């Protein structure tokens, strides 16, 4: 199931799919630290972030969190609410939960150590001159899960302008999540529901088909 992490539609889709069919395992695009933060009411301590992610990693995590919260405020949905709903449903129905994503600490450390100066400059330029670039951006309703066409366009833009970001945040994680799903498939004779961001669906499916072949 492909979702948007700040959309009410995603929460409704999670409820609908778990109501229509019974699953033995719900696999989520999460790791242990992110699942804890979803249910924590405390703000993450900056010292803790620096200790675990380094200064650059902590700054990236705080920036990403700020942007997500801003977008979530606009849509009226807290970031990750669909994942939280899936966990609540799994606990109520006694369904096993599997965390299939790479630990966030590894992802952020890789990104902050490998991102190029050119990508940093491009990002800063687009932030500063956003009004002038507005026409070239893809317009879609962030309150809904984007269509496959829009997702492909967005992924292609990231791939072209931010190749390191694409490789670490999307491509590598697709492979890791597909690998972890494969383990679940072959170790369990069960019905599995995987819930991930819509931008990961095509990549994960490609990896699964490749492994199967």
- Which has more pLDDT, 99 or 142? 99
Which tens digits make up the pLDDT trace of 76-87? 788 889 999 999
Which tens digits make up the pLDDT trace of 104-139? 889 988 988 898 999 888 877 777 765 555 555 666
Res. 144: pLDDT tops 70:
yes
pLDDT at position 55 is: 61
Which tens digits make up the pLDDT trace of 175-208? 999 999 999 988 877 899 999 999 999 999 999 9
SS (H, E, C) the chain: CEECCCCHHHHHHHHHHHHHCCCCEEEECCCHHHHHHHCCCCCCCHHHHHHHHHHHHHHHHHHHHHHHHHHHHHHCCCCCHHHHHHHHHHHHCCCEEEECCCCHHHHHHHHHHHCCHHHHHHHHHHHHCHHHHHHHCCCCCCCCCCCHHHHHHHHHHHHHHCHHHHHHHHHHHHHHHHHHHHHHHHHCCCCEEEEEEHHHHHHHHHHHHHHHC
pLDDT at position 15 is: 96
- Which has more pLDDT, 57 or 184? 184
């Amino acid at each position: 199931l492909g979702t948007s992490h700040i959309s009410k539609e995603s929460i409704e889709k999670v409820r609908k799919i778990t109501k229509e069919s019974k699953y033995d395992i719900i696999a989520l695009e999460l790791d242990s630290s992110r699942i804890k933060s979803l249910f924590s009411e405390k703000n993450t301590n900056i010292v803790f972030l620096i200790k675990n992610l380094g200064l650059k990693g902590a700054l990236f995590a705080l920036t990403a969190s700020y942007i997500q919260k801003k977008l979530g405020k606009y849509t009226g949905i807290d970031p990750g609410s669909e994942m939280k709903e899936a966990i609540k449903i799994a606990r109520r129905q006694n369904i096993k939960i599997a965390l299939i994503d790479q630990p966030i600490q590894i992802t952020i450390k890789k990104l902050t150590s490998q991102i190029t100066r050119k990508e940093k400059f491009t990002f800063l330029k687009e932030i500063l001159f956003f009004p002038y670039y507005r026409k070239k951006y893809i317009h879609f309703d962030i309150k809904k899960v984007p269509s496959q066409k829009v997702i492909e366009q967005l992924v292609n833009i990231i791939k072209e302008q931010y190749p390191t970001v694409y490789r670490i945040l999307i491509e590598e994680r697709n492979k890791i999540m597909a690998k972890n799903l494969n383990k679940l498939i072959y170790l369990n004779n069960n019905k599995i529901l995987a819930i991930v961001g819509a931008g990961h669906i095509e990549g994960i499916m490609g990896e699964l088909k490749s492994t199967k072949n």
